[in-house]
Amino acid sequence: MKNITILGSTGSIGTSTLDVIENFPDDFKVTGLTANSNVELLVQQAIKFRPEIVAITNSEKAKLVSSRLKGKKIEVVSGIEGLIKAASFEKADLVVSGIVGSAGLIPTMAAIEAGINIALANKETLVMAGGLILKEAKKRKVKIIPIDSEHNAIFQCLENIRPKFIKNIILTASGGPFLNLEKKFLKNVTPAETVKHPRWKMGAKISVDSATMMNKGFEVIEAKYLFDISFDKVKVLIHPESIVHGLVELIDGNFMAVLSRTDMRIPIQHALTYPEKKKGYLPSLDMNSIKNLSFKEPDMDRYPCLSYAYRAGITGGTMPAVLNAANETAVHSFLTNKIKFTDISRIIKTVIDKHDPVSNPRLEEILSADSWARKESEKLCF
């Protein structure tokens, strides 16, 4: 029996993780759940899965959760301290890091410091503080298993491959909902059109990141840290069918790839059962029905966020954290109708151009660069 704590249990990754857990009742037990503000779903999940601890960021809402869970022997905690307590709850064998955005960094770090293995969906953690996270994980002998579908695929490809045999790692990208839209129309797309992803059903923020391809840019940085590989060996290909999730090109001309249906429960099941494998409960990919698998290089002019991510990643230090904070602020402003879709990349460029990065930053320096970038971005979001 593996004990699992889910950070961000009420989100898209969180609910998919609980679906996997529900299908393997003899293998997994839920020890902790966390949410930001969705009281109703958190309470329903707690009643169904009986964790020992639940955390909700908002302290007023925590009172409501406590009263709804009265007599159920579930500890209810709140605020960032509560989140840290749930993330580092010692009975967990694995923490699923499924909070969205920079809010995931501190609790993920807390779980690592407590020596608990991580199934990582929250890529922003590695974008902001990849160096520190990897260092701490190594020190505590913590295993980080990627849930992000591309990295999960590459992780599986690399299991028996020596690093010196790798020529390139290739992340596939769907190209998002506007892949075939003429560039001149991008400035008028609405938030509702943007979050309607053609292949994946995800939270709002990552759906916007997918449309700008900042998501892929973050994934390039994520891959650099997870697989300890230089940026010139991390490539991106647009693959609209989203069937091949990740590829590894080897020096002898062979390619390895992982193919599956576009359903996050597949990489989540892999990460939860790792290093074992369990018979899947979802329908398998019907190879016979696949008519076409196409790949093409992304046009950096159309997807400037991807090039900013490479630039920030290569610069390193506090620059990726600034990239992330500027993106988070701009995406939030776009989703609340304050700016246009095309303003997102413009704002990010202005802020990264202005930043003087600190190299080998400590956590405080990363957090201070993050708040500087938020303030700078907010000035541009109107």
Instruction: Check if the beta carbon of residue 304 is closer than 8 Å to that of residue 319.
Output: no
Which of 97, 377 has the CB closer to ligand NDP? 97
**Identity of the residue, 37 or 254, whose beta carbon is nearer to ligand NDP in the bound complex:** 37
342 lies in the site for ligand NDP, by CB under 6 A:
no
Tell me which of 3, 10, 17, 210 binds ligand NDP, using CB under 6 A.
10
37 binds ligand NDP (CB under 6 A): yes
Q: Smaller CB distance to ligand NDP: residue 20 or 182? A: 20
Per-residue interface string for the shown chain with ligand NDP, residues 88-117, x marking contact by CB under 6 A: ----------xxx--x--------------
CA atoms 289, 257, 304, 123: torsion sign = positive
Distances (CA, A) of 372 to 128, 212, 343, 359, 365: 14, 23, 19, 16, 10
Phi, psi of 190 (to 5 degrees): -95, 160
The count of chain residues that interact with Mg ion, using the rule CB under 5 A, is: 3
In whole angstroms, give the CA distance from residue 231 to residue 95.
28
Least separation, in Å, of the C-beta of 286 and ligand NDP? Answer: 22
Q: Least distance (Å) from ligand NDP to the CB of residue 103?
A: 3
- What is the spatial order of strands in the sheet that 94-97 belongs to? 75-78, 53-56, 28-35, 2-7, 94-97, 117-120, 144-146
Residues 259-318 that bind ligand NDP (CB under 6 A): 264
What does 122 interact with, of ligand NDP, Mg ion, none (CB < 5 to 8 A by kind)?
ligand NDP
217 interacts with ligand NDP by CB under 6 A: no
Q: Which is nearer to Mg ion, 148 or 376 (CB)?
A: 148
| Binding of ligand NDP by 202 (CB under 6 A) | yes
Chain residue at closest Cβ approach to ligand NDP: 11
**152, interface contact from ligand NDP, Mg ion, none, CB < 5-8 Å by kind:** none
Is residue 200 a contact point for ligand NDP (CB under 6 A)?
A: yes
Distance CA 330, CA 243 (A): 30
What residues are paired with 230 via a beta bridge? none
Which residue number, 4 or 173, has a Cβ lying nearer to Mg ion?
A: 173
Binding segment toward ligand NDP, per CB under 6 A, in 10-18, 167-175, 320-328, 348-356: 10-18
Binding of residue 242 to ligand NDP (CB under 6 A) = no
Out of 52, 148, 328, 370, the residue judged to bind Mg ion by CB under 5 A: 148
Nearer to ligand NDP, 36 or 350 (CB): 36
Count residues contacting ligand NDP (CB under 6 A)? 27
Note whether 74 and 53 are within 8 A (CB): yes
Considering the complex, state which of residue 103 and residue 109 has its C-beta at the smaller distance from ligand NDP: 103
Q: Does residue 222 bind Mg ion (CB under 5 A)?
A: no
Strands 166-173 and 244-250, bridge-based pairing: antiparallel
Residues in contact with ligand NDP, shown as a per-residue x/- string from 121 to 140 under the rule CB under 6 A = xxxx----------------
148-180 exposure pattern, b = at least 16 Cβ within 10 A, e = fewer = bbbbbbbbbbbeeeeeeebeebbbbbbbbbbbe
Q: Which is nearer to ligand NDP, 35 or 356 (CB)?
A: 35
CB 159 within 8 A of CB 146: no
The contact set with Mg ion (CB under 5 A) reads 148-150
Residues near ligand NDP, by CB under 6 A:
8-14, 35-38, 57, 98-100, 103, 121-124, 148, 200, 202-203, 205-206, 264
